[in-house]
Chains A and B, each alone.
Chain A
């Protein structure tokens, strides 16, 4: 039995449908992420799971039991809020022991558990400090400790890393993964950062306007997005307008305006004349001054229009001779060279015929 079951949950605010008949399960022990842009419904869903909002339709079940009659304080679910929501008038120890006090634990038990969890988040020496004396990263960890201390069935994290600077964010991401693994508690993470979702999660549910577009492991979502929204939202991707000329069991023949005929991987249900896009990740596109004609590859000439250098890799934006624009990725691994091509260089790009995906309009 799944730990948390969301069954046909809907939530409306006037005319706006914030969560639209959503159903999915979360398994015990996993790091599950709700990913999507602002307004997609992920925060609404989170609030309903925590108990601060009630669904207009559907049910939320924890361990098979319907949560609808249970107020937030009775649910064994805790939340790490975006603003951390630390109690300003209590010390770190006061904050972290709060849930234990609410659960009626004895002072001895509380002292032991608090020490345990503060050690876990590397804040053992900050017990007597007040929130306003802590840095952003430290406040974050106190909020985490407070949510974990009495071992809830589920810990929800609402964009917890948003306020941290880039380096701290990365450090915290790594800490979060190992923390979740060590403690074994199910995490439900809410974020709009696809990079973060990909890095941290066992499974991701990509949401858009109240619905789940795709739910799967990160690598599957990245490599096999089911539609344009998911493909575009996750990572960088090339989208080339195309029309199906012929669909056979092992491949598709498609025409890309300005590039001619091209082979693409098979797609179930594709029919002749269907319009869509060929979605290619930049790392699937090779770029070189001249590429040998290799079987099984689509190859086109072009000129470098611009490039994005980020140190370890460079993404080249190439204008193909027949009008289309394609991004190709190249690691800057050759020693002594910052980049390989300049703006205006003539190049060739190529990708394997079994690379990419044909997605509907």
Chain B
């Protein structure tokens, strides 16, 4: 579809300006197409989740010759929460002689070390602390250093603010009986959902992301994402791909793609649920999502092209879905550009004929509302069996607004850092639980 010259009033007699306008329209077409692609993806996932065949192949493994497992608990200044997770891990239903917990105390300056050491005394032989006093910052760097203590084939990873249930360890270990599986991801459920508007919105977002997005990817044999917590990784797979990437801001995304490119699968276990704490104030949320965006974009630049057209073991559907997944955080600045172009073209007086108006409307519809994502979250709330929380759906526009600008800002900062050569730095997510 092309804009005809006579439809553009302002470019008559101004060829240079007309050229610009045409370029703007073509770029807008591309943006609209990409947005439509993501919209279709959301609908596809949601409909699959509502009506398709649901894959939970490993959840029934409740009896087995359970392998030895190491549980890494990443902790950086976690005095508010570390005792909760260590308590929970000491009561899980997994053979005690086959499970070793390694709290990875990464340069904490609060009382995290003392709390961990108290647990070590209380449960001799079951907890082996790894106190890290220096070295590069970030979770990936800390996990990389802690690997010197790991000898088991199966490794589980938790952030310190999570509280695993009694059966969770077995559920996360079970997929590793499948030799194709290199990584496992469980479902994250906010435990402080009811605190305020932000936590309630994050609760809805998490529902959509896990209950629909991740499970649909599992069902369709696409690319479920490793989340780096409530998760597991196979030691031999990790060694094969070169270990933890300490230069990555989101070691989980980085891990997902390196596993995929090397012929390992990451699987998602929707019924392996674990409570987490979500940010309770907007500045913390903004910082968190900016870090995720930077890390994701970093992975996109590193693996995007190779994933799509390179020679490796990913299937065609994994290449397509993996590429779209890599691009999710790039969509925010792209959408902002789309808005700017749509407004610019409108004020240039383009007569929106022959479907152009429809496309522009669609841009606005898909970009501002992206109702497909709302539909996805509504479906997730239904699958979770909740009723009233779905009423909060219109407020998601607020979360969307904050996200789109924060993520776009992250992209801008990232590009600026690239130009100036500034180094990434790790922003820890603040905790809100009361100290025990």
A binds B: no
What residues make up the interface of A, taking CB atoms closer than 8 Å to B?
none
